[in-house]
Amino acid sequence: MFNIKKWFSSDDSTTSEIYAALSEFKSAECPLGIPKEWVTNVSAKSDSVEIKLTLPFAAKSLSETLSSFLSSTLAKSTSVATVVHLPDAPKFKQIQHIVLVASGKGGVGKSTTAINLAYALKQEGAKVGVLDGDIYGPSIPKLLGLEDAKPVASDDKTLLPLQKHGLVAQSIGFLVPASEATVWRGPMASQALNQLLNETAWGELDYLIVDMPPGTGDIQLTMSQKVPASGAVIVTTPQDLALADAQKGIAMFSKVNMPILGLIENMSYFICGHCGQESDVFGRNGGKQLAMRHGVPLIAEIPLHTAIREQGEKAQEALAEVPDIELNYRTCARILASTLYYQNLASNQVEILITDD
């Protein structure tokens, strides 16, 4: 006679063991572990386990880390499959999160970082768009290899974004010759950004990355106020001057109550393309110290590497020759996506105050 009850209780205990192991998993992206609600399916056999997760932020590649963590914790071969689905209502049209990528000064690699973050978020399972807000010096058309492309109108008032490498993109550079936009005054520039954001048929997006104009003046301040962003990322390099300007960027966003999601230190250290040796050409730990001083997370330290410049020039999606750098951007993307998720979760929680009255 089959002991059905025993089977069920053993199944239950296996499932509880799996949930317990998932909640014990901690990483920079999942500081609170993996809750039960993210599990869509568990199939446990005597010698193997298959788990399906729906992640509420872009972190598809967590499946690999989780598979090896669970295989060793459960002492069974475990495979984890992940899909990404952001659960919240879109904040702007059909866009879940708008993220501003800013820098205190020009030339620190803001646009390069913005486009690589966008690729990395896409590779991590999200639907991603890029808005080139650098009205005076749009780089996105070149970085995407779309210099001669022109957007098509979807109706009288809306333009369709251009598409490349699985991203959708809009830029003033698609619409106006560079020489024309450079003479625009501040209000015209922020009006242009507004129009690009509002009059583009973005469709459903998980993240829209906005490449902001460099600097911390009135134009950048006005633009930041006009975009309904979830937060900003500040790109800096390790030199003192860049760090001082990044500090002004932190002050600017604080002034308009824009959450600072993190600091990215670009060109942190040099990796020789020939021998792979690392050197601290611009000094080390400047970004870390700035982040600590302002209580802002340092979400990535991206090296100075020829492959990054070449990828931008050739408008390539992947940094295939240098997997470590691609990994760097993907880790940064997952942390950014998770920060947005937990920030949202915290702001949605109702605070219950019990008083004596």
Ligand X SMILES: Nc1ncnc2c1ncn2[C@@H]1O[C@H](COP(=O)(O)OP(=O)(O)OP(=O)(O)O)[C@@H](O)[C@H]1O
Pick from 30, 108, 126, 144: which binds ligand X (CB under 6 A)? 108
Residue nearer to ligand X on the CB measure, 62 or 219: 219
**CA angle at residue 122 from 286 to 298, to 5 degrees?**
15
Query: Mask of contacts with ligand X, 185-224, x by CB under 6 A?
Result: -----------------------------x----------
Q: Are 81 and 49 in contact (CB under 8 A)?
A: no
Beta bridge partners, 82, equal: 53
102 binds ligand X (CB under 6 A): no
Handedness of CA 24, 30, 32, 38 (dihedral sign): negative
Smallest distance, Å, CB 31 to ligand X?
A: 28
Pick from 87, 107, 217, 276: which binds ligand X (CB under 6 A)? 107
308 binds ligand X (CB under 6 A): yes
Q: Is 105 annotated as a binding residue?
A: yes
Residues 312-351 touching ligand X, rule: CB under 6 A, are 312
Pick from 34, 67, 104, 110: which binds ligand X (CB under 6 A)? 110
Q: Is 109 annotated as a binding residue?
A: yes
134 binds ligand X (CB under 6 A): yes
302 binds ligand X (CB under 6 A): yes
112 binds ligand X (CB under 6 A): yes
Report d(CA 285, CA 281) in Å as an integer.
12
Smallest distance, Å, CB 112 to ligand X?
A: 3
Look up residue 337 and give its two tokens: 């996506």
Q: Is 108 annotated as a binding residue?
A: yes
Task: Extract the annotated binding site.
Answer: 104-111
Q: Contact residues for ligand X (CB under 6 A)?
A: 103, 106-112, 134, 137, 139, 214, 266-267, 302, 304-305, 308-309, 312
